[in-house]
């Protein structure tokens, strides 16, 4: 199985990002390399997380918004992913500002295949990085771990 930057991000989330304390980044990088991840993927994952951490919380003045995806975004997000982002916004899990951060972080993974499952993880990481809405994070965590359905039949 080919490991990629996304596998590194999930590993980091499950082992470090959701905890209150974690070791030095050099220790984490060594652990990732020992686990079999490649140095370029580890570096890209750290860069991705650093960029996410640098994004300021954007206070949105509107409760909802209308979003038109660019041609580049349509090439990355299939219809299922675009619908899922809109579902999250309408369900109150994603604010318009957090939706934009999630889109930005997915677009930053240029060489990765953004599937619905990967998009769920990206949104979860974005919500974890944005303070103040633990309820949205908890709801998204339930969706990622398939504890609640994301559509009604």
Task: Write down the pLDDT at residue 153.
Answer: 45
User: What are 80-89's pLDDT values in tens digits?
Assistant: 999 999 999 9
Task: Write down the pLDDT at residue 102.
Answer: 95
Q: Which long-range contacts (CB under 8 A, 24 or more apart) does 114-119 make?
A: 114/76, 114/77, 114/81, 115/81, 116/80, 116/81, 116/84, 118/6, 119/77, 119/81, 119/84, 119/85
Task: Write down the pLDDT at residue 77.
Answer: 95
Neighbours of 123 (CB within 10 A): 27
Query: Among 19-23, 42-46, 79-83, which stretch is predicted with the lowest mean pLDDT?
Result: 19-23
pTM, to two decimals = 0.85
Answer yes or no: are the C-beta atoms of 145 and 109 closer than 8 Å. Answer: no
Task: Write down the pLDDT at residue 141.
Answer: 92
- Which ranges constitute the DSSP H helices of the chain? 5-12, 25-34, 39-54, 71-76, 79-90, 96-108, 116-129, 134-144
Query: Among 52-56, 59-63, 127-131, which stretch is predicted with the lowest mean pLDDT?
Result: 59-63
Task: Write down the pLDDT at residue 48.
Answer: 92
């Amino acid at each position: 199985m080919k490991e990629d930057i996304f596998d590194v991000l999930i590993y980091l989330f499950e082992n470090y990002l959701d905890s209150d304390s974690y070791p030095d980044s050099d220790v984490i990088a060594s652990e990732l390399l020992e686990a079999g991840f490649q140095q370029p993927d580890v570096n890209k994952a750290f860069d991705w997380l650093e960029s996410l951490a640098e994004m300021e919380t954007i206070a949105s003045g509107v409760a909802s918004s209308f979003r038109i995806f660019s041609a580049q975004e349509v090439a990355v997000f299939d219809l299922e992913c675009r619908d899922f982002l809109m579902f999250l916004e309408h369900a109150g899990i994603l604010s318009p500002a957090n939706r934009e951060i999630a889109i930005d972080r997915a677009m930053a993974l240029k060489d990765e295949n953004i599937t619905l499952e990967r998009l769920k993880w990206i949104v979860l990481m974005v919500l974890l990085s944005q303070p103040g809405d633990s309820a949205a994070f908890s709801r998204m965590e339930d969706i990622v771990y398939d504890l609640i359905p994301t559509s009604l039949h």
